[in-house]
Amino acid sequence: MLTPSEEKFIAFWQHRREQEGGISRPVIKGFSIGLAIGLLILLALNSGFYERASMQAASKMSPLTLMLAIIVISIFSAIFFQRYQWDMKEQQYRELLAKKQQLENAAKAAENAS
């Protein structure tokens, strides 16, 4: 028998799986994670803890290129993170459905054997 939390998850994911599978919503939802990574990169470059890297970045890279790279990293990580979360929920959903089907088949077999 499935636990009440597993039953709740199955009902929740049946309703939400199509909504969370798109591209636009994950970008909006997960953009903050990518932006945090980009800000950490900026902080590392501006802190000057590694002077040689700071000199290289200042001499060969334009600020526009750096900002564009941070935006690309943010969008990529947002899409990747949300797709990963969706895949994990989908896997759990399919495992629970298989478990439910297996339990139902076992109950039918026990009923027929009696």
Render pLDDT for 6-19 as a digit per residue (tens, 0 to 9).
999 999 998 888 77
State pTM to two decimals: 0.69
Considering only residues 59 and 39, tell me which one the structure prediction assigns the higher pLDDT: 39
Given this model, what pLDDT does residue 41 score?
Answer: 79
Sign of CA dihedral 15, 21, 25, 26: positive
The vertex-7 CA angle with 3 and 11, nearest 5°, equals 170
Region 68-88: what's the mean pLDDT? 84
pLDDT-derived band at 25, boundaries 50, 70, 90 = low
Ordered DSSP codes for 3-17: -HHHHHHHHHHHHHT
Given this model, what pLDDT does residue 101 score?
Answer: 93
Question: Both tokens of residue 79?
Answer: 């899409």
All residues at 6 or more sequence positions from 93 whose CB lies less than 8 Å from its CB, including other chains: 9, 10, 13, 14, 17
Do the Cβ atoms of 105 and 11 come closer than 8 Å? no
